[in-house]
Amino acid sequence: MNALDRRFYAAIPAERLGVLRLLIGAFATLYLAVRFTSFTSLSRFSAHEFDPVGPLFWMPEPLPRVLLFAFTAATLLLGVAFSLGFRFRVSGPAFAIAFLLLTSYRSSFGMKFHTENLVCLHALVLGFSAAADAVSFDARGKPRPSAHGRYGWAVRTLGLLTVVTYVLAGVAKLRLGGDGWFSGEVLEAQIAYDNLRKIELGSLHSPLGVALLSVPALFTVLAWLTLLVELGAPAALLGGRWALVWSVFAWGFHASVLVTMMIAFAYPLSAVPYLAFFRAERWLATRPFRWMIRRLEQPIDSLAPRAAPGD
């Protein structure tokens, strides 16, 4: 086995993957619950506004209202089963595919909700992995599995997908903004335009973002920090302090977007996509998550971390 195989197919505890399934599934399910009306109200759009994207490229027309409501409700229920690891051989792939189709459908009416892409990719990886071998209803009463590469590849893939999305965002900024990104001009114009548009429309805007426009030099710093976070994302794959420092800066980047443009990237702001870089099972073996884990599977002592080869 070469170095890449040892790194990517590392023996990782099943509990880590189980915790990631629980949190990523919970986020996706809550996301659907909060935006349930947003998804089901798509039936109000006319057929000529429907331009199917991604896996729905073949659809000739929108779904009937009743079918759309039923599919959204079914996806929500599958999300609960996915999160809890209940009948995961069915609920895992079913929810991952349903979530992909439903989010693709919402992006087929003009606006592309790219903020859903990463959580969708993470759900697909988890749905087709052994993510319910621990910290799940399916694992109740079964022997605790040993650390194995079948868990490692999924955890590593989750982290890799997170990194790739940031790198692609950085590359896109350079391709579309060119030298303007290095000077901060593009970022300054983007914040100014976004807030002005919201003010004109009577929507929620950022007073802080407007105030910062009086300090042009600040945008040069912010633009360089943005590129550093996005193009420097591969550093997180080194793990340890590298992953911690990058994750803090990445979260800070999204927090700054929120306070300067009132645009919330909910998934990264939750910090859930960064947990794949850490030993999440150790952190979640403490309160307030103790009661949740106990009810899902076994006493919390079963989550005591063990040495994992290659980890």
Residue (of 278, 274, 273) closest to 311 by Cα position: 278
At 301 the pLDDT is 44
Q: Both 45 and 109 in a single domain?
A: yes
Domain encompassing residue 32: 12-147+285-301
Q: Both 109 and 26 in a single domain?
A: yes
* 1 part of a folded domain: no
Q: Both 137 and 247 in a single domain?
A: no
Q: State pLDDT tens for residues 235-256.
A: 999 999 999 999 999 999 999 9
Average pLDDT over every residue of 73-80: 98
At 281 the pLDDT is 84
Average pLDDT over every residue of 103-117: 91
Cα–Cα distance measured from residue 134 to residue 103, given in angstroms and rounded to the nearest whole number: 28
At 288 the pLDDT is 63
302 — pLDDT class (breaks 50, 70, 90): very low
Q: State pLDDT tens for residues 180-235.
A: 888 999 999 999 999 999 999 888 999 999 999 999 999 999 999 999 999 999 99
- The number of folded domains in the chain is 2
Cα–Cα–Cα angle for 253, 257, 259, nearest 5°?
A: 115
* 306 part of a folded domain: no
Q: Both 104 and 199 in a single domain?
A: no
Residue 180's CB: how many other CB atoms inside 10 A? 17
* 278 part of a folded domain: no
**Residue 74 φ/ψ region, left for φ over 0, alpha for ψ in the -120 to 50 degree band, beta for the rest:** alpha
* 253 part of a folded domain: yes
Q: If you average pLDDT over every residue of the chain, what do you get?
A: 90
Q: Is the pLDDT of residue 88 over 50?
A: yes
| CA 282 and chain centroid, separation | 21
Average pLDDT over every residue of 105-117: 90
Q: Is the pLDDT of residue 300 over 50?
A: no
Residue 166's CB: how many other CB atoms inside 10 A? 22
Q: State pLDDT tens for residues 140-158.
A: 888 989 999 999 999 999 9
Q: Both 66 and 111 in a single domain?
A: yes
114 — pLDDT class (breaks 50, 70, 90): confident
* 92 part of a folded domain: yes
Q: Both 104 and 224 in a single domain?
A: no
Average pLDDT over every residue of 46-57: 93
* 211 part of a folded domain: yes
pTM of the model: 0.91
Q: Is the pLDDT of residue 299 over 60?
A: no
Task: With beta carbons less than 8 A apart as the criterion, state whether 61 and 131 touch.
Answer: no
At 287 the pLDDT is 66
Average pLDDT over every residue of 50-75: 95
Task: With beta carbons less than 8 A apart as the criterion, state whether 102 and 143 touch.
Answer: no
- Percentage of residues of the chain with pLDDT beyond 70: 90
Average pLDDT over every residue of 122-131: 98
Q: Both 124 and 200 in a single domain?
A: no
At 304 the pLDDT is 47
Q: Both 79 and 175 in a single domain?
A: no
* 279 part of a folded domain: no
Backbone φ, ψ for residue 12 (5° rounding)? -125, 145
Tokens of 74: 């079914």
Q: Both 239 and 293 in a single domain?
A: no
